[in-house]
Amino acid sequence: MVFNWFRRKFGGGGEGEEPTETAASPAPEPESATAPPEPEAQKTEGGILNWAKTALQSIQSREPVAVTETATPDAEATPVAEFAPPPQEAPSPEPTDAPETVEAAPIALDEGFLWSAEVLAAQGRRPEEVDLEEITWLQRLRQGLGKTRRGLVHQLRSIVGQGPLGRDAVEEIEMLLLQSDVGVKATDQIIAALQAKIRQETLPADQAIAYLKQILRDTLDAPFQQGYAQDFAPKKGRLNIWLITGVNGVGKTTTIGKLAHIASQSGYRCLIAAADTFRAAATEQVKVWGQRSHVEVIANPGKNTDPAAVVFDAIGAAEARGTELLLVDTAGRLQNKANLMEELKKIRRIIDKKASNATVESLLVLDATLGQNGLRQAQVFAEAAQLTGVILTKLDGTAKGGVALAVVQELGLPIRFVGAGEGIKDLRPFSSFEFVEALLSSDVEVAA
Ligand SMILES: Nc1nc2c(ncn2[C@@H]2O[C@H](COP(=O)(O)OP(=O)(O)OP(=O)(O)O)[C@@H](O)[C@H]2O)c(=O)[nH]1
Ligand SMILES: [Mg+2]
């Protein structure tokens, strides 16, 4: 059965189907957050362990996967080492090997699996309806954010563990957020929300962390209050065009390859336009990704071809083939910034003219390892490309995960996807709930 990755559910891409709220987004629980906002239901109904076992059985009934023998974890178990993903190829801007061909490691009902299970269950997901790749992706995201989390959670707990949050504690939390790349503006807002809460009541450590998580989720989801749709799936049965922009080296082309993979796996007819005609090897690079994801690439083999002309041809091809998702790769660098912006504007004009009925999304790719510097670059693109969302890449590296909050706060744009690795499966739709859990959760507690 097809798992629709954009909607995070099986068979969810029916013609004309209008999405209900995505399963990946838990119902918001705004003001009531004195008690921990995480749903507790699974812990009382046989616990996460049962949920995880059922999920594993369902996964195996759909696709046989090797299960490694691990001792069944119990409530007292100290957490084992974090999930180690398959080794990745060394970074290479022109992918020649296919890191995605590395077979997934045998699945184990270990601490990492249980953590993923808890995160999925907390969002109201049923164990029969999760995909194995959801589990492995969550583990990868958690591992990617591991460094930031370890720095953050331990210190946060020790601050809030000292008793009711006082002024000094709030200042220490402020420092921690700034060190995690959350940025001044978002930090100010988060601290203001936290202080407002503390004025109302004193919070024990767990509740303070739970409340902080709620504030972070609200910050990340704020664009949904400003008119951006929470659902982000290409519309079936019609042309969607996603223009992928960003400065050089942030991961645009790699992201296109990963998006093409998600799209074709999720049952969408997809096409790629190789509109980075500036860099000599760019077309070849995107073609490699096209082969990996089994998606055709429209390119113009001539030298110094006009990228807008490539986009024009690609739209024609997309319309002729009934393509549902056209991904447009763009250059990250031209002779100068003004030229690049002019080129993007021209591409955008062609899209609006030639595909006036298409649903167009303009997505800025940001390299999370660049921290606040990446944000400055973003402001320039925002004008030229009429941005509608952000894709945050390289969360697996030295990035400090807090930058996601700065991105949303500073740009007012929703994060639509996050990348945490160079493999084809290392990019998935963004969920504030999962992100915040990966950033701030302490170790899984299993109520068996
Ligand atoms: N670790 C890690 N590396 C990534 C990720 N995404 C992309 N990369 C790497 O970043 C490098 C640049 O990626 P590209 O996709 O070529 O970037 P680009 O934005 O298309 O670059 P230009 O075409 O030069 O503008 C490559 O080595 C990728 O493998 C990620 O999520 N994690
Ligand atoms: Mg590129």
In the chain (448 residues long), the average pLDDT of successive 10-residue segments reads 89 51 42 42 66 92 68 39 38 44 64 93 94 93 91 82 73 91 94 81 79 95 95 95 94 97 96 91 94 96 85 97 97 80 93 96 95 83 88 92 94 96 95 95 53
Q: Does 367 sit in the ligand 1 pocket, CB within 6 Å?
A: no
What tokens appear for 182 in the block?
């959350």
Burial class (CB in 10 A: 0-12, 13-18, 19+), 89: middle
Q: Does 419 sit in the ligand 1 pocket, CB within 6 Å?
A: yes
Q: Does 420 sit in the ligand 1 pocket, CB within 6 Å?
A: yes
Q: What's the pLDDT score for residue 443?
A: 58
Neighbours of ion ligand 2 (CB under 5 A): 252-253
Q: Round to whole Å and give the CA distance between 178 and 176.
A: 5
Q: What's the pLDDT score for residue 207?
A: 83
Q: Does 422 sit in the ligand 1 pocket, CB within 6 Å?
A: yes
Q: Which of 398, 422, 426, 428 to mutate to test the pocket of ligand 1 (most atoms within 8 A of CB)?
A: 422
What tokens appear for 175 in the block?
């420092």
* Ligand closest to the CA atom of residue 423: 1
Tell how far the Cα of 211 is from the centroid of ligand 1, in angstroms: 35
pTM of the predicted model as reported, rounded to 2 decimal places? 0.86
Q: What's the pLDDT score for residue 88?
A: 42
**Pairing of the two strands 415-419 and 389-393:** parallel
Q: Which residues contact 386 (CB under 8 A, 6 or more apart)?
A: 348, 362
Q: What's the pLDDT score for residue 218?
A: 97
**Pairing of the two strands 427-429 and 415-419:** antiparallel
Q: Does 91 sit in the ligand 1 pocket, CB within 6 Å?
A: yes
Q: What's the pLDDT score for residue 304?
A: 72
Q: Does 396 sit in the ligand 1 pocket, CB within 6 Å?
A: yes
Q: What's the pLDDT score for residue 69?
A: 52
